[in-house]
Chains A and B, each alone.
Chain A
Amino acid sequence: MDNFIAARSQMGMSLAFHIIFATIGVSLPLMMTISEWRWRSTGDPVYLLLAKRWAKGTTILFAVGAISGTVLSFELGLLWPRFMQYAGAVIGMPFSLEGFAFFTEAIFLGIYLYGWDRVPGWFHLLSGIIVAISGVLSAGFVTLVNGWMNTPTGFDIVAGKFENIHPFVAMFNPAGIPEAVHMVLAAYTAAGFATAGIHGWLLLRRGRNRFDEVAIGIALLVGGTPVLLQSVSGDALARMVAAKQPMKLASLEGQFQTETGAPFRIGGIPFPDKRETKYAIDIPYGLSLLSFHNPHALIKGLDQEPQSDWPNVRMVHICFQIMVGCGSLLSLFALLAGGLTWKKPPLINHKAFLKALVLISPLGFVALEAGWMVTELGRQPWIIYHLMRTKDAVTSMPNVTITLLVMTALYVILGIIVVWLLSRHVIAVPDRKQLERAGVLV
């Protein structure tokens, strides 16, 4: 394999795994804190047990996330030394702040785990909240860096180098905040629905029990609320892309020609050689309306740039369709479930509801990974948009294929271990004794 492709594959593979670990690590603390709060206000031991289970899950994911995060921080230099040489100083601030958010998370997770009967109740709950907030901040800071790669700001270029750098202007680049919000909402959606789905499946298998029912309730709340907000956040992000990265918008929409009143395409396969997107359902004026809130707005097409500078339009467009499709299905489900919450008998007693839940539960993660494919592939061939090409940033070290193969094998093992640990220690059904003794468990 060509070194450049191997380096891109290794980075993509490491990120794809890390995103899953990190996403669950961001969402579980919120679920565990909600559960503890329910326990403190109702005294129902099933909430306490659930909070402790999710705390254990948080610990596992935190440790695995620490490992895969360490790997990524080194890989930035190992694979892209020239990128780090030029951009390290500009993007260092959010990375450093992320380090501190991570520290805070570690410390308060420790207090949460070992402080059940050693700190006052309100402080224990507060520790859980701090863990949840610092997890969100970590995710946010890292995403700000990705935002900068898409809309680089906060510097002047003097003689081929970054000069007059303003780290906070760089940090709050135009793409940064919209991307970070979109990412955090996606994290809650993906992990919330996945958790609800797992417990839905277990509920179908092992029959009615409070443990799974309560878990589904909290997980659906954590997954279902953000997915509805995601449409607002997605709209803000799309308008930012339309304004700042018109070529990226053109490739995610499969828009080859520049036109006013451009249609919004649902589905379809772009054919870059023929410069058209076939088999799509067109919604007239849709894209202009969505991008600029004006049906006659001008949408720049890929024809504005030489074909050699296009990303892989077909992949980007298809991934974008997958993301939007999954997100829409999940939103529909969340709306239905939310609307029917007050009906009797409760939804959770319906097998059909549980089956539907199980069926759609992986879609959050599918959308998450597809969304990252859109933003990463859509930025190509640039590592820093319109400033540095990815191929100019890659290491001169030979045989990257070997490290790619080794790291892939290792991550697969790590992934299997995580799944196995979670199934054994977090979602396994508790026996009666555990429920009765929940108050004394540590």
Chain B
Amino acid sequence: MSADVVLAGVMLAALVIYSLFGGADYGAGFWDLMCSGPRQQDQRALIARAIQPVWEANHIWLILIVVLMFSGFPAAFSEISLSLAVPIFLILLGIVLRGSSYVFRAYFTGSVRTQLYWGKVFSISSSITPLFLGIVIGAISSNGVLVKDGISESGFLGTWFYPFPLIVGLLSLSLFAYLSACYLTIETDDPALQNDFRNRALFSGFASLMAAFATYVVAGNAAQGIRDGLSRAPYVWLIELGGAIAALVAFQALWTRHYQRARIAAAAQVTLIVFGWGVAQYPYVVRPELTIYNSSAPTNIVSDLVIAVAMGALLLIPSLILLLFVFKTHRESISVDADTTTV
């Protein structure tokens, strides 16, 4: 396997992790917008508690993808940032607004009205980012992105404003919401709250299935390449089958209120969907022209990057395990001395 493919694989893995952790954060913001019913305040409090410790640090994964992309596949990075500048700008807008409004809402002690207002900004911006992230993925999977001599051939709207990318955007939003609802069911011991998020998980899970189906149908016109990729080799079928089984397990577990199992199955489902997309997209980075092979940096650079990533991982994985260990013992003791947490 060449170094180019390994590097692309690392980026795909980072995208999976970003979806699992960052995606759940965004999804929680989406549910914040949708809080309703008699337990509205409790739902919001649960969401705030669940995302507090991880906060914005998950963007690290997105930064890693961007950095590896411009170092390893500079031509693809340049083409994406030029022709998809509008959705990328909206992703950034979402990230900045979400970060600022979250801190403001979390620490603001003034009037309830202001706090509600910032809460709205938080939840709307949390929904914008996954939507446009999906749109970018959809756009580079269909055949609309072409740059000649520094000019985007389809302009700045034509590259992404058509059904296929938009539906992929909805798919990613619904998947993140689904994932987040599944996670939230085990962040509380209150059965009523668990039930609220169980219903949401079932609803958004169903919505994501519909979106996935719509994506497949629309791909027949706009993105034949990725559709062919999905039905190409036997191992792609295996990934799809795995995703389908994970989805069934997750639904069954949600239905019978086995939340721990539902959470693991939902995470597996999202992992396999993102991974399956990557395999179907192979060997392209940006369809229809740029592949892993023709857009990559010279071989010595890519191998140096892969070595750097491997050495970084060797250092970071043990540290990460240590952190998770500290986190876990911390969380267990929070319930014991909950009122000594302020400085």
Q: Which residues of A contact B (CB under 8 A)?
A: 49, 52-53, 56, 60, 62-64, 66-71, 73-78, 81-82, 84-93, 95-100, 102-104, 106-108, 110-111, 114-115, 118-119, 163, 165-168, 395-398, 403, 406-407, 410-411, 413-414, 417, 421, 424-425, 434, 437, 440-442
Interface of B is mostly: helix
Measured in the bound complex, the distance between the Cα atoms of B89 and A118 in whole Å is 42
Measured in the bound complex, the distance between the Cα atoms of B80 and A81 in whole Å is 9
Measured in the bound complex, the distance between the Cα atoms of B319 and A119 in whole Å is 13
Q: Is the CB of A81 within 8 A of B104?
A: no
Q: Supply 16 further A-B pairs (C-beta < 8 A) apart from A115-B330, A417-B103.
A: A66-B56, A67-B96, A67-B100, A68-B96, A81-B79, A82-B150, A88-B70, A100-B312, A100-B315, A114-B330, A115-B326, A118-B326, A396-B152, A397-B152, A440-B340, A441-B340
Contacting residues, chain B, for A93 (C-beta < 8 A): 71, 301, 304-305, 308
Q: Is the CB of A99 within 8 A of B67?
A: yes
Whether, in the assembled complex, B1 has its beta carbon less than 8 Å from a beta carbon of chain A, the answer is no
Q: Is the CB of B82 within 8 A of A395?
A: yes
Q: Is the CB of B67 within 8 A of A95?
A: yes
Q: Is the CB of A406 within 8 A of B68?
A: no
Nearest first, the 3 A-B pairs at minimum CB distance are A92-B71, A77-B81, A88-B74
Interface of A is mostly: helix
Whether, in the assembled complex, B93 has its beta carbon less than 8 Å from a beta carbon of chain A, the answer is yes
Whether, in the assembled complex, B214 has its beta carbon less than 8 Å from a beta carbon of chain A, the answer is no
Measured in the bound complex, the distance between the Cα atoms of B340 and A119 in whole Å is 19
Contacting residues, chain B, for A396 (C-beta < 8 A): 82, 150-152
List 28 interface pairs A-B (beta carbons < 8 Å), by A numbering: A63-B57, A66-B99, A71-B96, A73-B66, A78-B88, A78-B89, A81-B82, A89-B71, A89-B72, A89-B74, A89-B301, A92-B71, A93-B305, A97-B308, A97-B312, A99-B63, A100-B308, A104-B319, A107-B323, A110-B326, A111-B319, A114-B330, A165-B301, A168-B304, A395-B82, A398-B156, A407-B92, A421-B107
Contacting residues, chain B, for A118 (C-beta < 8 A): 326, 329-330
Shortest Cβ gap from A24 to chain B (Å): 15
Measured in the bound complex, the distance between the Cα atoms of B312 and A102 in whole Å is 11
Contact residues, B125-154 vs A (CB, 8 A): 150-152
Q: Is the CB of A66 within 8 A of B66?
A: no
Measured in the bound complex, the distance between the Cα atoms of B83 and A395 in whole Å is 10
Measured in the bound complex, the distance between the Cα atoms of B75 and A305 in whole Å is 33
Whether, in the assembled complex, B64 has its beta carbon less than 8 Å from a beta carbon of chain A, the answer is yes
Q: Is the CB of A424 within 8 A of B77?
A: no
Q: Is the CB of B340 within 8 A of A442?
A: yes
Measured in the bound complex, the distance between the Cα atoms of B103 and A410 in whole Å is 14
Measured in the bound complex, the distance between the Cα atoms of B34 and A410 in whole Å is 25
Whether, in the assembled complex, B85 has its beta carbon less than 8 Å from a beta carbon of chain A, the answer is yes
Contacting residues, chain A, for B337 (C-beta < 8 A): 440, 442
Q: Is the CB of B70 within 8 A of A108?
A: no
Whether, in the assembled complex, B300 has its beta carbon less than 8 Å from a beta carbon of chain A, the answer is yes
Contacting residues, chain A, for B66 (C-beta < 8 A): 70, 73-74, 77
Q: Is the CB of A76 within 8 A of B319?
A: no
Whether, in the assembled complex, B298 has its beta carbon less than 8 Å from a beta carbon of chain A, the answer is yes
Whether, in the assembled complex, B316 has its beta carbon less than 8 Å from a beta carbon of chain A, the answer is yes
Contacting residues, chain A, for B330 (C-beta < 8 A): 114-115, 118
Contacting residues, chain A, for B316 (C-beta < 8 A): 100, 103-104, 107
Q: Is the CB of A111 within 8 A of B82?
A: no
Set A70, A82, A100, A167: member contacting B304, Cβ < 8 A: A167
Bits for B85-123, please: 1 = Cβ < 8 Å to A, else 0. 100110111011101100110010000000000000000
Measured in the bound complex, the distance between the Cα atoms of B97 and A115 in whole Å is 30
Q: Which residues of B contact A (CB under 8 A)?
A: 53, 55-57, 59-60, 62-64, 66-68, 70-72, 74-75, 77-82, 85, 88-89, 91-93, 95-97, 99-100, 103-104, 107, 150-152, 156, 297-298, 300-301, 304-305, 308-309, 312, 315-316, 319-320, 322-323, 326-327, 329-330, 337, 340-343
How many A-B pairs with Cβ below 8 Å? 216
Q: Is the CB of B315 within 8 A of A56?
A: no
Set B57, B74, B309, B340: member contacting A85, Cβ < 8 A: B74
Q: Is the CB of B343 within 8 A of A52?
A: yes
Known contacts being A96-B68, A96-B308, is A421 close to B343, with CB within 8 Å? no
Measured in the bound complex, the distance between the Cα atoms of B298 and A284 in whole Å is 51
Shortest Cβ gap from B81 to chain A (Å): 3
Measured in the bound complex, the distance between the Cα atoms of B147 and A82 in whole Å is 12
Known contacts being A74-B81, A82-B78, A107-B319, is A119 close to B93, with CB within 8 Å? no
Contacting residues, chain B, for A63 (C-beta < 8 A): 55-57, 99, 103
Known contacts being A77-B80, A110-B326, is A442 close to B341, with CB within 8 Å? yes
Set B298, B327, B341: member contacting A163, Cβ < 8 A: B298
Contacting residues, chain B, for A102 (C-beta < 8 A): 60, 63
Measured in the bound complex, the distance between the Cα atoms of B64 and A171 in whole Å is 18
Contacting residues, chain B, for A395 (C-beta < 8 A): 81-82, 85
Q: Considering only CB atoms, which chain A residue lies closest to B331 in the complex?
A: A114
Contacting residues, chain A, for B71 (C-beta < 8 A): 88-89, 91-93, 95-96
Shortest Cβ gap from B92 to chain A (Å): 5
Q: Is the CB of B107 within 8 A of A424?
A: yes
Q: Is the CB of B78 within 8 A of A81?
A: yes
Shortest Cβ gap from A194 to chain B (Å): 21
Q: Is the CB of B92 within 8 A of A74?
A: yes
Measured in the bound complex, the distance between the Cα atoms of B330 and A440 in whole Å is 14
Contacting residues, chain A, for B78 (C-beta < 8 A): 77, 81-82, 84-85, 88
Q: Is the CB of A397 within 8 A of B319?
A: no
Shortest Cβ gap from B324 to chain A (Å): 9
Q: Is the CB of A66 within 8 A of B298?
A: no
Set B60, B70, B150: member contacting A76, Cβ < 8 A: B70
Contacting residues, chain A, for B297 (C-beta < 8 A): 88-89, 92, 165
Measured in the bound complex, the distance between the Cα atoms of B169 and A79 in whole Å is 24
Set B70, B80, B327: member contacting A92, Cβ < 8 A: B70
Set A53, A70, A78, A104: member contacting B81, Cβ < 8 A: A78
Q: Is the CB of A71 within 8 A of B92?
A: yes
Q: Considering only CB atoms, which chain B residue lies closest to A95 in the complex?
A: B67
Q: Is the CB of B81 within 8 A of A119?
A: no
Contacting residues, chain A, for B53 (C-beta < 8 A): 114
Contacting residues, chain A, for B67 (C-beta < 8 A): 73, 92, 95-96, 98-99
Measured in the bound complex, the distance between the Cα atoms of B312 and A96 in whole Å is 10
Q: Is the CB of B329 within 8 A of A403?
A: no
Measured in the bound complex, the distance between the Cα atoms of B326 and A227 in whole Å is 38
Q: Considering only CB atoms, which chain A residue lies closest to B89 in the complex?
A: A403
Q: Is the CB of A77 within 8 A of B156?
A: no
Measured in the bound complex, the distance between the Cα atoms of B62 and A91 in whole Å is 19
Contacting residues, chain A, for B96 (C-beta < 8 A): 67-68, 71, 407, 410-411, 414
Q: Is the CB of B100 within 8 A of A106?
A: no
Q: Is the CB of B309 within 8 A of A96?
A: yes
Q: Is the CB of A96 within 8 A of B60?
A: no
